[in-house]
Structure formats: structure tokens, C-alpha cells
Amino acid sequence: MQLSIKNFQFPLLNMGSTGSKSLDELRALNKKLNYMSRKDRAIVSRAFRYADDAHKNQTRYSGEPYITHPLAVAETVADMKLDVEAIAASLLHDVVEDTQYSIQNIEENFGGNIATIVDGLTKLDNIKGNVIDTQLSPSQSENFQKLVLATAKDLRVILIKFSDRLHNLKTVGSLSPERRKRMAKETMAIYAPLANRLGMEKLRMELEDLSFAAVYPMRHELFKSAVEKARAFRRDYIDKNIATIEKEMKANSIKCKIIGRRKNLAGIYSKMSLGTREWVSSDTPSVADRKSLQQIMDVYGIRIVVSSVSNCYRVLGIMHSLYAPIPRRFKDYIANSKKNGYQSLHTSLVGPNGFPLEIQIRTEEMDNVAESGIAAHFIYKNSPESPAQLYSWLQGLARIQAESANTSDFMQRARQEFSLDEIFVYTPDGDLISLPKGATPVDFAYAVHTDLGARCIACEVDRVPAPLNARLYTGQVIKIIVDPNSAPDIAWSSSVVTPKALSHIANYSHNQRNIDLYGVGEKMLRDSLMSHFSHGLNDISEESWSIYLAKHGLNDKQQLYEKISLGEITPLVAAAHLIPTSNNPAAVKGGKASKKQATSIAINNKLAIIKYAKCCHPIPGDPIVAISTKQDGINIHRDKCSNVSPKNHKAKKSSSAINAHWEEDMEKDDFLVCIRCETAKDANLISRIVNTLANNQVAVQEVTTEHSTANVKVLLITMLTHNREHLEAIISKLLLLNGVNKISRT
């Protein structure tokens, strides 16, 4: 007997197994596979028959045929427009775990690719453990590591696993309360945060809401009822604002889709901090930030979807003229997209009656990515390959897992490493390596292999010899040259940035304490003095040595050198305190201070201990001064900054000021700068300003209104620029805009 549904030919192997519920699921799946070729649909048909036969005597806790579950999972995967291998693996995902069939059987019947996906999914099953506060238990950490390793091999594994967990939560009613609770907590600890990291916002909210209902079914229903009543009250307010915005968009000939945004129940519940220690989501606030339901519901969200990026900025200007913007609440995620690919303009406004309006402005494609995250790349490109950045992130987690001594170390290192900005470089064989921003060839070598890092003596960057402390940038190809007889150089610790490199160099240093620490530290300090200040150790006066050693509680120079070699004192900071300055003319012996008074530290963007002051935002080309402190290293200020003026009480009590200058031929980088823009009141002027900046590849960080009168509006614009020359060119272009009257640095 055959069941024919369009291009499918499914034999009814067992009517007791393939009941009416199964046939409904089968028809639903078939309708969603119209993007596949006949050949691919035949493979899916074969996978269904295989799974149906394997599960023919099995039922779910609800009493339904087990095959209904893989069919439902395959439906969700089909919504993502994943390929035939993913659909087939969805149907087969429980075969190895729950039946007598093996991975070898799957490979023999469906090939290695499908078998690999099924194997990855099998390894993720039976995740156990309890959530304690906001931390994962060791058991869950272990399973999270398995999850990472599996997804790093093939991103389709995690997308299928999300679909599997989603259906299990939807049908959790037949399980015992204890099992429901455990599944929900595991979802909140592992799957919902991972969905968020992959940009799958819609899925994350659904997982959180289903988990909330599973842990607290009665509380969920009561809370849902209260929220629905609040939503009914606010619907009229949202509708009126949407009508006002639609009218304004029509007047400006902008076609758009405007919708009111709804917060998910679990997110509202967490923001109220009603959850006990058993319930934690990504939105759970500190005690000080707890809010009432009224406070949360009184913030109204509206999303505006337009056809182009330029229209996004036009709409931004219109919205800022229609409603008063709330200071410091503008975010440009179009120019500076999030790591998961999310792009949008965010701004907060004061709406009618004083209620806050949270506005998101994005294109249709951005909206799709915001909803579906990484899955959008499958839906709209129909490709099984993930974007390089996300794929590298997953691989990077797998790498950290392999290098970690235990699960606690893994979680700590993962949080530390991935809080940094990343770059992506290549091995000569084309393998992609993810590193934190500021990484060096030594970091790269350790990332590839510990022995490569320990034995490296030189490198080539894009086939050109480069120093081992050179700063790497995305897209470069790195070749490491090794000597089997060499060992790590302790001096590398002053330039490397990755936890692995720092850890291995520190371990080597600890294990080799019998080496001449005095000589190593002396060399590091000598090199810093010469390269940054053009001084030698012999140039420093005994008085300066005595003052420095006493101030830092050191017995002698040897102790200083030992601390430098062990990484306890940074050589550049020590050098900065020892060189001659206007505050310390006696630092150089033999009367050399008067001749070397102009000596200054050369500032470049490779120095890890350099910090740029947020009070004055110095950029290359600005006259600058360096403030050296024991705690913070070296802070760079513009020389006219009030915080370094001798009249400033804070400046008097700070550590010594050091003359500084920007290094010539400094590598191009982005520096934060803030300008004050005095403008006429014009509804479209903000959009023209932001558009001009975007067209000149300038990333806007924030736009706020400092003050406004009947005829004049003063804007504060925070953005990224390369140097003073670049900034002056940008300001010149902005001054050409009609309505921009005056621009100055803050």
C-alpha cells in the first residue's frame, strides 16, 4: 500500500505507527519542501521511510507515534530552507539514540555528510544537570562543550538541535513535573543564550516563554493574563503613534512597514526579577534595576522597516523631529553591526503623555536577520555554509575547550576571550583563525599549536617578514618560522594578548625560574627606554632610581628587573617614571635633562598599556601629554585637557606627566572622537548629517541633543575617525550641509 503526496512516495510500513497525526505532519512537511529538487525530495522520502521503520514500535509519552517528533523537527528545519542533508538528518536524528541502528548504518544508507550531522545530534542528547543561580553546573558545562564541538563541525547541527528542543518544549505536557523543569532550566542555561548569540531572536523568545510555562505553569497563566490586560490598555496608544508616524512617512514619500513590538513573557518576568534563584534569563536585572509590570509596560516599542539603508537614516531624522530624543540612547548598529550580524538603528524618544518610545529602524533584510539570525543566511542564500565570523566563533569555542584544564577554566576563558573584539587571519593552508584585536604573530602561533608558539623565531605576514610583536589585522596570511631548539621568549608577555599565549609563557617562566631573571628584566627595561624615549639605563640618575624604587617598595634594581621579567611590572610604565620630564628634570644624570627636555614617549596603537582619555578623546595629530600611573599604565590626553592642567586639583595629585608625541607612520586605526554641532532646527538635518558620515565610512556611535531653543539645536555626535586630518575633512563636509552653522571638538 502506498501513500502518494505529490512527489513523495511513502509506503505505509505500519499503519499503527504512521497514524493520522503522522500523515498530517507528513503533508505539512511536504508543502514546505517546494524549494527542493525532485532528486532531493526522493532522499527525504527515503529518510522518512528509514526513520518510520526504525521507530515503528515506539510511542512518545503522549501516546502518539514517535515518528511525529522527527517529522515536526524536519518541518521547523524546512522553514529555515536548510538543504536536503539537514532535512534527512532531522528525520533520522533519534534513530541511533533510540533504536538498534548505528551511525555506520546511517552512513551506509545516506552517506558520510548526513551521518556526521546525525552523530553530532546524538552526542547532544540526554543533557542533564541542574542550574544553580546564573552558573552552569559541571555536568552542564561538559554538555555545553559537546554542543560547541559538534556545532563547530557543522552549523546545521545546532539549527536542528534548536528545532528538536523547540518541539520537545511544545509537547512537554506529558512529562513529569521534574523532567519538565529540568528540560526548561537546561534550555535557559544553554539553548536560549546560544540562540541569542547566533542572532535568532524569535527562537530565543519562544524557547524562553515555553521554558517559563514548563517551570511555572500556573504562574505563567496568571502572568500571561496580567500582561494581556496591560497590552490591551497600551494597544490604543501604540496604534495612535503608528498612525502619526505613517502620516509623517507618507508626507516624506517613504514607504515602510510599522509594527508595535511585543516583549516576550519570560523577558518581562525576568526584568521584574520575580524569578527565584531557580529562574534566570539574559534579561534578569540587578536588585537596583528591578522594575514593576507597569514600568516595563510603560515603555512602548515600535519597529519601522524600510526599503534601503539611506531611508533608515532619513526616518531617524524624521523621528527626532517628531518626538524629543532621550539623551545617550541612540545606537547605530547599521554602521557597527553586532557580532551575530544584527543591524538596526535604535533610538529612544519621549512620546505623547511623556511615555518613552523605543524605536528600531531597519531594512527588510536586516529585519529578517534580526528575527532568524544565522538561519537567515540559509533562508535567503540557501547555502549550508555559515558566515566566516560566526563559524570562526564556534571553532574558537571548540579550541578553548580543547585547551582548558577543566570545565570551570573553559567557562572563564570563553567569557574572557569572547568579550574582546575579534580579528580573523589565515594560515598558509587557508585555515581561518580567530584572535582578539591587538593579537600578534606569537598569539597566532600559539592558537595554531602550542609547539608552534614555543618554537617560533620569526614570521611572515602576507609573505613579507614581520616582527613577532607586530599587530595583526583581519584578512592577513601568517607564516610562522620555527627552530626546534628554541624556547619561548619571556619578553613576549609584554606584547601578546590571548589567554593561551600568556598562560604558556607564564608557565614557561615559572618552570624556568633559575634563568637569569635579572638579565631578562634589565633588557626589557633597556629596550623600552631606548625605543620609546631614546635613553639608555646609564642616562638615568641615581636620584631618580632611588625615588622610583622607594615609591614602589623595591629594595634594589635587581628586584625591579625580576618583577619586570615575571610580568609584575610593565617595562614601559617603569621607563615612563624614570625618564626626564618637566616635573622631574633631575632624572637624567650629568645635566642632560636640559638637552633632553623635549624627549617624549612615542605613542602608537600597538601599546597594550596605552589608554586614551574619554574626557578629551585624543586622536593622532592632536598635541598630547601622557599621564603615567601605577594602577592604570599610561593615559593619553590632549595637551589642553582640563584634567591635566596644573590648575586642576586632580592633575596635581596624579602621577607624573610625560611629554608624548604620535609615532610617525602610525598604522591606521579607529579613534573615538566627539564633536559639538550647532544647527538650525530642521526635521531632516540629523538624517543628512548621519548619511554624510555613513557615506564617508564614518561609524557613528551616538547622537544626542545637548540643548535646543526655538531656532537652534546643538547636537553631540560621537564617532570613530582615523586622525586629526581625517576629522577636519569630515567637519568640512558637514559644514557644507545647509543648516549646519558651527562645529567644534568637545
pLDDT of 490: 81
Instruction: Give the confidence band of 9 by pLDDT, cuts at 50, 70, 90.
Output: very low
Q: Give residue-wise pLDDT tens across range 458-517.
A: 999 988 899 998 989 876 889 999 998 888 988 888 888 888 888 888 878 766 654 556
- Look at the alpha carbons of 584, 585, 589, 592 in this order and tell me if their dihedral is positive or negative: positive
Q: ∠ at Cα 253 (247, 254), nearest 5°?
A: 80
Give the DSSP letter of residue 587: G
Give the DSSP letter of residue 43: H
Q: Which of residues 60 and 289 earns the better pLDDT score?
A: 60
Describe the crossing of helices 364-372 and 201-215 by its angle, rounded to 10 degrees. 40
Q: Give residue-wise pLDDT tens across range 520-551.
A: 788 878 887 887 777 888 888 888 888 888 88
- d(C-alpha 96, C-alpha 118), whole Å: 8
| CA distance to 81, 399, 501, 629, per residue, from 495 (Å) | 45, 22, 10, 19
Task: Return all residues near 665 (Cβ < 8 A) that are at least 6 apart.
Answer: none
Q: Assign domain 218-262+299-379 one CATH number from 3.40.50.2300, 3.40.50.300, 3.30.460.10, 3.10.129.10.
A: 3.30.460.10
- In 122-255 the beta strands, taken as DSSP E runs, fall at none
Q: What is the mean pLDDT of residues 687-699?
A: 83
Query: Which H, E and C letters describe 65-124, residue by residue?
Result: ECCHHHHHHHHHHHHCCCCHHHHHHHHHCCHHHHCCCCHHHHHHHHCHHHHHHHHHHHHC
C-alpha cell at 512: 624556568
pLDDT of 405: 53
Residue 2 clears pLDDT 60, i.e. is over it: no
Query: CA torsion angle for 456, 460, 461, 465 (degrees, to 10)?
Result: 120
- d(C-alpha 159, C-alpha 80), whole Å: 9
List the single range of 2-6, 58-62, 182-186 with lowest mean pLDDT. Answer: 2-6
Ordered by start, the domain boundaries in the chain are 2-211, 218-262+299-379, 420-511, 517-662, 671-745
Q: What is the pTM of this model?
A: 0.51
Residue 579 clears pLDDT 90, i.e. is over it: no
Q: Which of residues 524 and 609 earns the better pLDDT score?
A: 524
- d(C-alpha 369, C-alpha 80), whole Å: 12
Pairing of strands 300-306, 356-363: parallel
Q: Give residue-wise pLDDT tens across range 656-689.
A: 566 777 877 666 678 889 999 999 887 778 888 8
What DSSP element (H or E) covers 673?
strand 671-680
Q: What is the mean pLDDT of residues 168-188?
A: 87
| CB neighbours of residue 48 within 10 Å | 27
Residue 131 clears pLDDT 60, i.e. is over it: no
Which residues pair with residue 257 across a beta bridge? 305
Which SS3 state, helix, strand or coil, does residue 349 take? strand
For the domain 671-745, what is the CATH superfamily, name and number? ACT domain (3.30.70.260)
Instruction: Give the confidence band of 588 by pLDDT, cuts at 50, 70, 90.
Output: very low
User: 461 — phi, psi (to 5°)?
Assistant: -115, 115
Q: Give residue-wise pLDDT tens across range 148-165.
A: 544 446 778 888 999 999
Q: Which of residues 471 and 142 earns the better pLDDT score?
A: 471
Mean pLDDT over the full length of the chain: 76
Architecture of domain 420-511: Roll (3.10)
Percent of the chain past pLDDT 70, that is, above it, reads 72
Of 3, 142, 22, 106, which Cα lies nearest the Cα of 72? 22
In total, the chain counts a number of residues equal to 746
- Residue 117 and residue 416 in contact, taking contact as beta carbons nearer than 8 Å: no
C-alpha cell at 579: 625618564
Q: Give residue-wise pLDDT tens across range 703-720.
A: 888 877 778 888 888 888
Q: Give residue-wise pLDDT tens across range 393-424.
A: 555 655 655 565 554 455 455 544 444 356 77
C-alpha cell at 434: 580567530
Q: Which of residues 278 and 166 earns the better pLDDT score?
A: 166
Give the DSSP letter of residue 259: E
Task: Return all residues near 667 (Cβ < 8 A) that are at least 6 apart.
Answer: 471, 604, 605, 606
Q: Give residue-wise pLDDT tens across range 264-305.
A: 777 777 767 544 434 544 444 444 445 565 555 546 789 999
Instruction: Give the confidence band of 125 by pLDDT, cuts at 50, 70, 90.
Output: low
- Residue 428 and residue 477 in contact, taking contact as beta carbons nearer than 8 Å: yes
Q: Which of residues 247 and 429 earns the better pLDDT score?
A: 247
Q: What's the count of helices (H) and strands (E) in the chain, helices before strands?
A: 30, 22
Q: Which of 122-131, 554-563, 647-656 has the highest mean pLDDT?
A: 554-563
Instruction: Give the confidence band of 66 by pLDDT, cuts at 50, 70, 90.
Output: very high
| CB neighbours of residue 711 within 10 Å | 7
Write the CATH number of the domain with boundaries 2-211: 1.10.3210.10
Q: Which of residues 127 and 573 earns the better pLDDT score?
A: 573
- d(C-alpha 504, C-alpha 481), whole Å: 19
50-54, long-range: CB < 8 A, 24+ apart? 50/91, 50/92, 50/95, 50/109, 50/110, 51/91, 51/92, 51/94, 51/95, 52/10, 52/13, 52/14, 52/17, 52/18, 52/22, 53/13, 53/14, 54/95, 54/98, 54/99, 54/101
Query: Which H, E and C letters describe 300-324, residue by residue?
Result: EEEEEEECCHHHHHHHHHHHHHHCE
Residue 695 clears pLDDT 50, i.e. is over it: yes
Q: Which of residues 56 and 582 earns the better pLDDT score?
A: 56
Q: What is the mean pLDDT of residues 175-184?
A: 87
pLDDT of 26: 78
